[in-house]
């Protein structure tokens, strides 16, 4: 949750996410009514802004996929906007944009959510669009193949990340034999096999009204909202059976995912834990926070920067411990993590530690309701997991009521060191000798997509002619933007501008400032009202500070460092240099249109990242880039570049629009660009008050 609120935003770089403060505090109880077809409708009136949020929850998550359909739930959800019985994909997108709305759909482990945000005056039009996508999708094969290519690109990026690989493989080990153990987005191989017929069958079986819930939040009249829900969703029909939810117990294992290229191993330990509706879940969550969720936790004091986390599900949950270390130390770190857990279970958290955790949980609780979408989604999740109707009203009291003895009892009940599986990603030859002293070790090959860097089908590799044309197009683009020599001569840059985030038919405005210096050094600052986040990258280290007056400086983990390094290479200079350097192999894939301009489409895989570049076929300017969305794995971010101006001989885009799956989420207007002005080295120095880990509520 915290990352969703203060998450990374880079200028013309990483994706942007920040709160739209439409409202604050938990929602009052909704008006809930079950209409004739079994659909439950929950209406949350909130008249502070003239916007409305529509959310449809359907029990169509990863846990509902057939054994041969890994990734089918996510593919089906994403394909809902790809065409209905009355609209093609382009018409659907145009109709959403015509009324200034947004539309998205995604699937989690337990359910899928279909969302729309519109102006309140467009409630009926918005409900009709959302209903059309939920009730009448047709899954055109050509559109489905396009979405599959996007998901595959995201999966390749995920599989290149040792952090993501370790997390995914831990789920597979802890929940072996159950759908929870499958990769939530599928695999490159499973996605390639999925068909439109499978998506239609999955939709037909699981997108039914009897276990679905429609939430309407915002500036609405409840009676009118219920009448409109009946009008547009009343023809929805069919039933869906409840599923068994509790996975069978898995035997603990030790697994190495061989990555010979890594100099640090990613270490994960995990076991099944409490479901979300467990009576003692609040006590367990607080205990987990004291164990490894805060900068002052037991693991941080004993083995920084190790962390502990809980992921609650229906019928079960996942408890995990995370750390990284040199390969030769991985076995010792895994043993130490188990020992620290055992020690933690032998005595309850101290009264002081528990009080700090309780204060933090109470302080962050209101942040979960800062947008209409978040507020509706929180209620839907609580409803899905059968939490009491007064859960939100009683939350602070239930947290305050937990005693050290209760927290210790919950931890002992759910967390058993003997049940922990161990997953380590790193060089097997250096990991295996130590880990074999802990038990029998299984060694797995690295993810298939890691070495391929592209689709697994060898026949899909670019031809030499495509690669030659790709190099020629990149060379022409470098010339059009100022010349390769001029681009290579840029050693530092200072860019600032205005940022607008689109959410729920409204906008959040802020400022953005980014300074780069060669050697993967970057200072990145975003400001919204009085809320400021500063992130600093220095080679392979990074840290952040949140709040203008905050003195807390927190070290980034390996995944955040990787994201910032990716953001460093996402300005116009590095994007172009990536395709003209030695050893690169850009390939012309074909032609398309972007903003009414004919474009050459070039595929480039460099530094572990795969992007599709769209160059103006006539002027060779960069028009757009498609890449996997860093905040939404398996989906695609498109960055559109316009309003070019010449800065010190370099053609620089002064405007950028960011889209996720065709929905605009952000625009950036650059106000100033300075090149080679001497960004001081001192800006990137490691601060003396650095903490190892930020608090992370779960």
Are both 166 and 260 inside the same structural domain?
no
Among 397, 318, 311, residue whose Cα is nearest residue 362: 397
Are both 326 and 414 inside the same structural domain?
yes
Are both 507 and 548 inside the same structural domain?
yes
Are both 79 and 225 inside the same structural domain?
yes
Place 400 in a pLDDT band, splitting at 50, 70 and 90.
very high
CB atoms within 10 A of CB 518: 12
Residue 156 has pLDDT above 70, yes or no: yes
Residue 79 has pLDDT above 90, yes or no: yes
Are both 110 and 207 inside the same structural domain?
yes
Q: How far is C-alpha 490 from the geometric centre of its chain's CA atoms?
A: 32
Phi, psi of 659 (to 5 degrees): -125, 150
Are both 435 and 514 inside the same structural domain?
no
* pLDDT for res 628: 63
Q: pLDDT digit string (tens) for 16-70?
A: 222 333 344 455 789 999 999 999 999 999 888 899 999 999 999 999 999 889 9
Q: Is residue 8 part of a domain?
A: no
Residue 250 CA to residue 272 CA, distance in Å, equals: 9
Are both 141 and 186 inside the same structural domain?
yes
Q: Is residue 137 part of a domain?
A: yes
Q: Which CATH number fits the domain that encloses residue 51?
A: 3.30.830.10
The three-state secondary structure class of 287 is helix
Domain that holds residue 132: 35-233
Q: Is residue 239 part of a domain?
A: no
Residue where a domain terminates, one of 201, 233, 265: 233
Are both 432 and 469 inside the same structural domain?
no
Place 152 in a pLDDT band, splitting at 50, 70 and 90.
confident
Q: 405 burial class (0-12, 13-18, 19+ CB within 10 angstroms)? A: exposed
Residue 99 has pLDDT above 80, yes or no: yes
Q: Is residue 378 part of a domain?
A: no
Q: Which residue has the higher pLDDT, 221 or 688?
A: 221
Are both 72 and 210 inside the same structural domain?
yes
Are both 184 and 79 inside the same structural domain?
yes
Residue where a domain terminates, one of 233, 264, 283: 233
Are both 66 and 119 inside the same structural domain?
yes
Can you tell me the mean pLDDT for 301-313?
88
Least confident of 197-211, 352-366, 405-419, 477-491: 352-366
Place 624 in a pLDDT band, splitting at 50, 70 and 90.
very high
Residue 96 has pLDDT above 50, yes or no: yes
Residue where a domain terminates, one of 376, 405, 439: 439
* pLDDT for res 461: 67
Count of all residues that appear for the chain in the document: 698
3 state SS for 601-665: EEEEEECCEEEEEEEECCCCCEEEEEEECCCCCCCEEEEEEEEEEEECCEEEEEEEEEEECCEEE
What count of Cα atoms within 13 Å lies in the side-chain half-sphere of residue 1? 21
Q: Is residue 216 part of a domain?
A: yes
Q: Is residue 451 part of a domain?
A: no
Place 548 in a pLDDT band, splitting at 50, 70 and 90.
low
* pLDDT for res 3: 29
Strand order in the sheet with 307-312: 307-312, 317-325, 265-273, 421-426, 254-258, 441-444
Q: What is the mean pLDDT of the chain?
A: 86
* Whether 539 contacts 31, CB under 8 Å: no
Q: Is residue 379 part of a domain?
A: no
Specify the number of domains making up the chain: 3
Q: 402 burial class (0-12, 13-18, 19+ CB within 10 angstroms)? A: buried
Can you tell me the mean pLDDT for 433-459?
70
Residue 592 has pLDDT above 60, yes or no: yes
Are both 277 and 207 inside the same structural domain?
no
Q: Which residue has the higher pLDDT, 455 or 325?
A: 325
Q: Is residue 529 part of a domain?
A: yes
Provide the Cα torsion 448, 452, 457, 460; round to 10°.
Answer: 160
């Amino acid at each position: 949750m915290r990352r969703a609120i203060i998450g990374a935003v880079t200028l013309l770089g990483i994706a942007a996410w920040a709160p739209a403060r439409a409202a604050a505090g938990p929602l009052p109880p909704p008006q809930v009514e079950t209409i004739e077809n079994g659909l439950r409708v929950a209406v949350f009136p909130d008249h502070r802004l003239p916007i409305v949020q529509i959310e449809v929850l359907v029990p169509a998550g990863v846990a509902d996929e057939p054994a041969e359909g890994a990734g089918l739930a996510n593919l089906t959800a994403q394909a809902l906007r790809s065409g209905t019985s009355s609209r093609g994909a382009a018409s659907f997108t145009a109709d959403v944009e015509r009324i200034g709305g947004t539309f998205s759909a995604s699937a989690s482990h337990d359910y899928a959510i279909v969302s729309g945000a519109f102006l309140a005056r467009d409630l009926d039009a918005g409900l009709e669009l959302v209903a059309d996508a939920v009730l009448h999708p047709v899954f055109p094969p050509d559109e489905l193949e396009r979405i599959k290519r996007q998901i595959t690109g995201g999966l390749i990026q995920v599989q290149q990340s040792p952090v993501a690989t370790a997390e995914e493989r831990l789920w597979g080990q802890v929940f072996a034999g159950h759908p929870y153990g499958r990769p939530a987005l599928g695999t490159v191989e499973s996605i390639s096999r999925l068909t439109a017929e499978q998506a239609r069958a999955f939709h037909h079986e699981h997108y039914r009204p009897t276990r679905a819930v429609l939430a309407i939040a915002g500036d609405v009249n409840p009676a009118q909202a219920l009448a409109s829900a009946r009008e547009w969703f009343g023809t929805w029909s069919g039933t869906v059976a409840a599923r068994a939810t509790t996975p069978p117990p898995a035997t603990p294992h030790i697994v190495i995912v061989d990555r010979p290229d890594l100099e640090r191993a990613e270490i994960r330990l995990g076991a099944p834990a409490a479901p979300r509706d467990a009576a003692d879940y609040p006590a367990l969550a607080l205990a987990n926070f004291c164990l490894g969720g805060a900068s002052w936790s037991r693991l941080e004091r004993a083995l920084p920067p190790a962390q502990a986390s809980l992921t609650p599900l229906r019928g079960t949950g996942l408890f995990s411990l995370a750390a990284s270390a040199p390969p030769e130390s991985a076995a010792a770190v895994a043993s130490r993590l188990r020992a620290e857990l055992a020690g933690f279970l032998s005595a309850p958290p101290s009264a002081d530690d528990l009080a700090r955790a309780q204060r933090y949980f109470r302080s962050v609780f209101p942040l979960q309701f800062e947008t209409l979408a978040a507020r509706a989604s929180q209620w839907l999740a609580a409803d899905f997991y059968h939490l009491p109707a007064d859960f939100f009203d009683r939350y602070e009291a239930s947290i305050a009521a937990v005693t050290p003895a209760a927290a210790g009892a919950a931890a002992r009940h759910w967390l058993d060191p003997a049940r922990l599986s161990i997953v380590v990603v790193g060089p097997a030859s250096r990991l295996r000798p130590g880990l074999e002293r802990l038990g029998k070790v299984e060694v797995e090959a690295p993810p298939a997509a890691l070495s391929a860097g592209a689709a697994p089908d060898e026949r899909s590799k670019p031809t030499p002619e495509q690669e030659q044309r790709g190099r020629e197009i990149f060379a022409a683009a470098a010339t059009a933007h100022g010349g390769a020599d001029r681009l290579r001569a840029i050693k530092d840059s200072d860019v600032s501008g205005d940022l607008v985030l689109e959410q729920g038919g409204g906008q959040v405005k802020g400022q953005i400032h980014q300074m780069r210096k060669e050697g993967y050094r970057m200072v990145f600052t975003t400001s919204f009202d009085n809320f400021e986040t500063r992130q600093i990258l220095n080679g392979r280290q990074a840290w952040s500070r949140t709040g203008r007056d905050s003195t807390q400086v927190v070290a980034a983990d390996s995944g955040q460092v990787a994201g910032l390094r990716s953001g460093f290479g996402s300005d116009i200079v590095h994007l172009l240099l990536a395709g003209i350097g030695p050893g690169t192999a850009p390939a012309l894939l074909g032609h398309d249109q972007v903003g009414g301009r004919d474009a050459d489409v070039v595929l480039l895989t460099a530094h572990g990242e795969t992007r599709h570049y769209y160059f103006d076929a006539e002027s060779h300017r960069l028009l757009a880039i498609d890449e996997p969305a860093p905040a939404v794995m398996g989906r695609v971010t498109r960055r559109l570049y316009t309003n070019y101006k010449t800065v010190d001989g370099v053609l620089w885009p002064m405007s950028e629009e960011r889209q996720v799956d065709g929905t605009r989420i952000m625009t950036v207007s650059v106000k100033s660009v300075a090149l080679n002005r001497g960004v001081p080295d001192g800006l990137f120095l490691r601060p003396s008050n650095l903490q190892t880990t930020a608090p992370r509520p779960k």
